[in-house]
């Protein structure tokens, strides 16, 4: 256990509702705010140059050329000349609560730490986060409730309880606890039906299934059987629960898709996708979270977080030192097989690009909350997507995949969750890092205060 990391978690206090809502502007929620002269990337593929964004409370009232909208004389005006507005990002794959920056473990899964992770996402412009299948549900539901009551700001939190074969589920590296495994066991179709019904009764809207044999610690190495995950999918459909499936092989993806699964964590990593699969993906409007960040760490161009100023400026030096100590640089002589595999993965990504959505796996294996989202966006583009395509994948499409209709695009009636950038990400996707301000629920996120809190090194 790293004491420095622990001290940060212990010292992190819940922000009260009043603190969470403090802004630089007059804090009068009855007043409209209008953001003028900005390039507005709406998230759905459209762009307005010299546009205005009109907001009241936590809702967008209008988006477009200023001349096209009725701006109240009392509106607070913000001149964003030279700046770009994008929707706050929507991350559909992370594991909140376990990470203490430099260490992982069940003992860190507290309301305080979970809340901190919501603020870390907000700091980096991520407005919505789906934590996939590893959350301690009692703690998680309490935090979610406090957020709905307005007492916790940060990224909008969605949890998705997990199901797997007995002993299967989350990677034991980050959930290593002899008394807690963090997943609902579904050994057979009957148990699958029962479990999904129980989740529905407790109000679950999103759930995850692990198909792979992920039971390294318990040693059984049992995959989830097709008849069992079919029962999960059929029952979830009845109760309107959106399932996301962890699967990494082309064969499993095909079987899942043919059983009606519409959301995948990971793309096929084992071989090139074929026409049969692409047809299934197109016909069923399937969404795929490729999670490239975790599979590119062996690349020579990979920059570890502790060497990247964009990460380093929001953690104490002790965390950077720990990460540096534990870092295994990639081999300088890459095999022909490794080169081939990289090319195959990039090719898969491009064939699936109209179905790709953002997810990072942050919190599991050394990808850091919020920071990893910008790394993933850059990887989308490095592997051949355009910046415009990458932004759609990280906003409107990611929201649509889970029916999160209030977020993901800048349109009248949508949530006022947006990021103001100092440079245009359509020119260079790395410009998503040039954050001037983040607004969530119409309130400015106090990034300076968060950074000050996080960089205390005691
Ligand atoms: Zn994951």
Distance 427 CA to ligand 1 centre (A): 31
Assess if residue 430 is contained within a domain.
no
Return the pLDDT at 176: 67
Return the pLDDT at 129: 98
* Spatial separation of the C-alpha atoms in residues 22 and 270, rounded to whole Å: 49
Dihedral over alpha carbons 430, 432, 435, 441 (to 10 degrees): -170
* Spatial separation of the C-alpha atoms in residues 19 and 332, rounded to whole Å: 49
* Spatial separation of the C-alpha atoms in residues 13 and 21, rounded to whole Å: 15
Distance 276 CA to ligand 1 centre (A): 26
Distance 104 CA to ligand 1 centre (A): 14
Assess if residue 200 is contained within a domain.
yes
Distance 361 CA to ligand 1 centre (A): 4
In 80-155, which ranges are E strands? 84-87, 89-94, 126-132
Task: List the one residue out of 174, 212, 165 whose CA is nearest residue 192.
Answer: 165
Distance 332 CA to ligand 1 centre (A): 28
Those residues with Cβ within 8 angstroms of residue 328's Cβ, 6 or more apart along the chain or in another chain = none
* Block residue for tokens 């009692």: 138
Distance 181 CA to ligand 1 centre (A): 15
Q: Is 408 helix (H, G, I), strand (E, B) or coil?
A: coil
Distance 98 CA to ligand 1 centre (A): 12
Distance 109 CA to ligand 1 centre (A): 16
Domain count, the chain: 1
Distance 211 CA to ligand 1 centre (A): 12
Distance 94 CA to ligand 1 centre (A): 6
Distance 55 CA to ligand 1 centre (A): 35
* Spatial separation of the C-alpha atoms in residues 400 and 392, rounded to whole Å: 11
Distance 398 CA to ligand 1 centre (A): 16
Distance 132 CA to ligand 1 centre (A): 6
Distance 128 CA to ligand 1 centre (A): 16
* Spatial separation of the C-alpha atoms in residues 136 and 46, rounded to whole Å: 39
Q: Is 217 helix (H, G, I), strand (E, B) or coil?
A: coil
Distance 252 CA to ligand 1 centre (A): 17
Distance 171 CA to ligand 1 centre (A): 8
Assess if residue 11 is contained within a domain.
no
For the chain, the first-to-last Cα distance in angstroms comes to 15
Task: Write out the H or E segment, with its range, that includes residue 321.
Answer: helix 317-326
Distance 210 CA to ligand 1 centre (A): 10
Assess if residue 418 is contained within a domain.
no
Assess if residue 336 is contained within a domain.
yes
Return the pLDDT at 457: 57
Distance 81 CA to ligand 1 centre (A): 39
CATH code of the domain in which 366 resides:
3.20.20.140
Distance 95 CA to ligand 1 centre (A): 6
DSSP letters spanning 296-310: -TTSTT---GGG-HH
DSSP state of 329: P
Distance 294 CA to ligand 1 centre (A): 10
Distance 66 CA to ligand 1 centre (A): 43
* Spatial separation of the C-alpha atoms in residues 32 and 73, rounded to whole Å: 9
Distance 349 CA to ligand 1 centre (A): 18
Task: List the one residue out of 442, 447, 438, 445 whose CA is nearest residue 88.
Answer: 438
Distance 444 CA to ligand 1 centre (A): 30
Task: List the one residue out of 418, 432, 417, 455 whose CA is nearest residue 373.
Answer: 432
Distance 237 CA to ligand 1 centre (A): 23
Distance 426 CA to ligand 1 centre (A): 29
Task: List the one residue out of 287, 238, 291, 247 whose CA is nearest residue 403.
Answer: 287
Q: What is the pLDDT along the chain (458 residues), one digit of tens a residue?
A: 333 333 333 334 444 333 444 444 445 456 899 999 999 999 999 999 999 999 999 999 999 998 889 899 999 999 999 999 999 999 999 999 999 887 888 889 999 999 999 999 999 999 999 999 889 999 999 999 999 999 999 999 999 999 998 877 777 666 667 667 678 989 999 999 999 999 999 999 999 999 988 766 666 678 899 999 999 999 999 999 999 999 999 999 999 999 999 999 999 999 999 999 999 999 999 999 999 988 888 888 888 999 999 999 899 999 999 999 988 888 888 889 888 998 999 999 999 999 999 999 999 876 899 999 999 999 999 999 999 999 999 999 999 999 999 999 999 999 999 999 999 999 999 999 999 999 999 999 999 999 999 998 54
Assess if residue 435 is contained within a domain.
no
* Spatial separation of the C-alpha atoms in residues 442 and 148, rounded to whole Å: 15
Q: Which range marks the domain in which residue 213 is found? A: 89-405
Distance 4 CA to ligand 1 centre (A): 26
Distance 25 CA to ligand 1 centre (A): 38
Assess if residue 177 is contained within a domain.
yes
* Spatial separation of the C-alpha atoms in residues 121 and 119, rounded to whole Å: 5
Assess if residue 80 is contained within a domain.
no
Distance 358 CA to ligand 1 centre (A): 12
Contact 4, 318 (CB under 8 A): yes
* Block residue for tokens 């059983």: 259
Distance 370 CA to ligand 1 centre (A): 15
What letters, b where the CB count within 10 A reaches 16 and e where it falls short, cover 100-115? bbbbbebebbbbebbb
Distance 288 CA to ligand 1 centre (A): 13
Q: Tell me the backbone φ, ψ of residue 14, rounded to 5 degrees.
A: -55, 135
């Amino acid at each position: 256990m790293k004491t420095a990391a622990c001290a940060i978690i212990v010292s992190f206090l819940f922000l009260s509702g009043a603190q969470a809502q403090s802004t630089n502007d007059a804090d009068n929620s009855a007043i409209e705010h209008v953001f003028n002269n900005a390039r507005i990337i709406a998230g759905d593929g459209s762009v307005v140059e010299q546009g205005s964004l009109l907001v009241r409370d936590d809702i967008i009232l209008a988006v477009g050329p200023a001349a096209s909208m009725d701006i109240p004389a009392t509106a607070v005006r913000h001149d964003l000349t030279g700046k770009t507005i994008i929707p706050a990002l929507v991350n559909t794959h992370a594991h909140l609560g376990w990470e203490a920056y430099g260490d992982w473990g069940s003992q860190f899964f507290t309301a305080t730490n979970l809340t901190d992770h919501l603020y870390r996402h907000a700091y980096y412009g991520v407005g919505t986060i789906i934590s996939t299948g590893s959350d301690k549900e009692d703690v998680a539901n309490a935090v979610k409730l406090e957020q709905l009551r307005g007492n916790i700001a940060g990224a909008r939190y969605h949890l998705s309880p997990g199901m797997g074969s007995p002993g299967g589920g989350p990677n034991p590296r980050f959930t290593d606890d002899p008394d807690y495994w963090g997943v609902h066991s579904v050994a057979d179709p009957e148990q699958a039906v029962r479990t999904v019904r129980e989740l529905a009764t407790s109000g679950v809207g999103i759930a995850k299934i692990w198909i792979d044999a992920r039971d390294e610690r318990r040693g059984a190495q049992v995959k989830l059987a097709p008849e069992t995950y079919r029962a999960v999918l059929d029952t979830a459909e009845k109760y309107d629960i959106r399932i996301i499936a962890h699967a990494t092989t082309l064969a499993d993806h095909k079987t899942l898709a043919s059983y009606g699964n519409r959301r995948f964590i990971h793309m096929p990593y084992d071989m090139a996708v074929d026409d049969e699969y692409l047809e299934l993906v197109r016909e069923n409007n399937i969404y795929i979270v490729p999670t490239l960040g975790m599979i590119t760490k062996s690349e020579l161009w990979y920059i570890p977080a502790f060497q990247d100023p964009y990460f380093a400026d929001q953690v104490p030096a002790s965390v950077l030192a720990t990460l540096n100590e534990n870092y295994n640089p990639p081999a300088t002589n890459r095999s022909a097989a490794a080169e081939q595999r990289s090319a195959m993965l990039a090719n898969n990504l491009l064939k699936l690009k109209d179905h790709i959505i953002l997810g990072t796996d942050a919190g599991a294996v050394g990808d850091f909350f919020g920071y990893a989202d910008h790394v993933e966006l850059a990887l989308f583009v490095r592997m051949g997507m355009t910046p415009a395509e990458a932004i759609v994948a990280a906003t409107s499409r990611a929201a649509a995949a889970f029916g999160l209709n209030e977020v993901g695009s800048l349109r009248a009636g949508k949530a006022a969750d947006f990021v103001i950038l100092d440079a245009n990400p359509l020119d260079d996707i790395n410009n998503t890092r040039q954050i001037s301000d983040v607004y969530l629920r119409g309130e400015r996120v106090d990034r300076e205060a968060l950074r000050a809190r996080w960089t205390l090194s005691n």
